Amino acid sequence: MIVHLLKCFGAAPGGGNAALVVENDHGNVTARQAFARERQVSACVFIDRQANGGIVLDYFYPHTRSPLCLHATLAATHVLLTAPGAPATLTVTTAMRGQALQLVRSAAGLFIGLAPQPAPAVSVEKYIPSELMGQHMHLLSPPVIASVGSPKLLLEVADRTTLRALRPNLELIADWSALHKVSGCYAYCRTGENAYEGRNFNHLDPALEDSATGVAAGALAAHLQQSLDLHQGHVTQQPCLIEVQYSAQAIWVGGMVQRST
């Protein structure tokens, strides 16, 4: 087994959301979940090389297996595309749903190309955001569920002050998400032209709040149908920046990747 520790989407050198990339592992789902739980890194991705030459990515958080995690995918992209002799592009698939992902290394950096995915058809009643956030919520747009592989409930708040002060009901979010097959809530605000800041709520422990959530950035770009720069991680003191390039054909999610010691 070879394990790489990388930080992804950091807004400055040394920062970012940590991920473990694991190669040459042949454990089952139970063993991989135990590994992720023991390591307590925000995400682990296992690279499985198939007999036919294909590559499958299998994602685990400390508390659950995931259909898709883009900061872990970005870490895997670094491992797969920056080694000597590595290709500049590669197509991989996800373990749980067989979703195709395009990995690209270019002069602009590392990017993951993917397509919007069907989102659960859930009627979000007006009172739901306030209950989930544990306070009265005045949203600037109707709540919506969008997905590029891991559905998010998107909640647009007024400004950074409102966003950073949120103290949601994490247990209720977990229960509501499990009931509706949604991967938590993503609260966000607009901070400039094509610039946004967001926070992801998908863990029962406030200390495990995500510093960068690529699937939420992709979902937001798909919902808004525009390219954007998404800042995250102010509350966790790990400032991150996710760049999303939007087109009708594909959504490209990228950012900084650094090896961590």
Contact 233, 239 (CB under 8 A): yes
CA torsion angle 204 144 241 20 (round to 10): 40
Whole-model pTM: value is 0.91
Residue with tokens 């883009």: 70
Highest mean pLDDT among 38-42, 122-126, 192-196: 192-196
User: DSSP 3-state assignment of 211?
Assistant: coil
d(CA 158, CA 210): 21
List, in sequence order, every residue forming a beta bridge with 15; answer none if it has no partner: none
pLDDT, mean over the chain: 93
User: DSSP 3-state assignment of 155?
Assistant: strand
Q: What is the pLDDT of residues 18-63, one digit of tens each?
A: 999 999 999 999 999 999 999 988 899 999 999 898 999 999 988 8
pLDDT of residue 13: 86
Residue with tokens 């002050």: 161
Q: What is the 3-state secondary structure (H, E, C) of 232-249?
A: ECCCCCCCEEEEEEECCC
Alpha helices in the chain (DSSP H): 29-39, 70-81, 128-133, 160-165, 170-180, 214-224
pLDDT of residue 234: 93
Instruction: State yes or no: pLDDT of 153 exceeds 80.
Output: yes
List, in sequence order, every residue forming a beta bridge with 252; answer none if it has no partner: 113, 245
- Provide mean pLDDT across the span 225-244: 95
- Provide mean pLDDT across the span 67-95: 94
Cβ contacts of 191 within 8 Å, gap of 6 or more: 160, 197, 231
Instruction: State yes or no: pLDDT of 108 exceeds 90.
Output: no
pLDDT of residue 261: 62
Rounded to the nearest 5 degrees, what angle is found at the Cα of 188, between the Cα atoms of 187 and 194? 155
d(CA 231, CA 227): 13
Q: What is the pLDDT of residues 195-220, one digit of tens each?
A: 999 999 987 777 778 899 999 999 99
* Chain-centroid distance, C-alpha 17: 10
Task: Tell me which of 9-18, 109-118, 158-167, 188-197 is least confident.
Answer: 9-18
Residue 20 backbone class (left: φ over 0; alpha: ψ -120 to 50; beta: rest): beta
pLDDT of residue 260: 78
Provide the terminal-to-terminal Cα distance of the chain, rounded to the nearest Å.
Answer: 18
Q: What is the DSSP letter of 70?
A: H
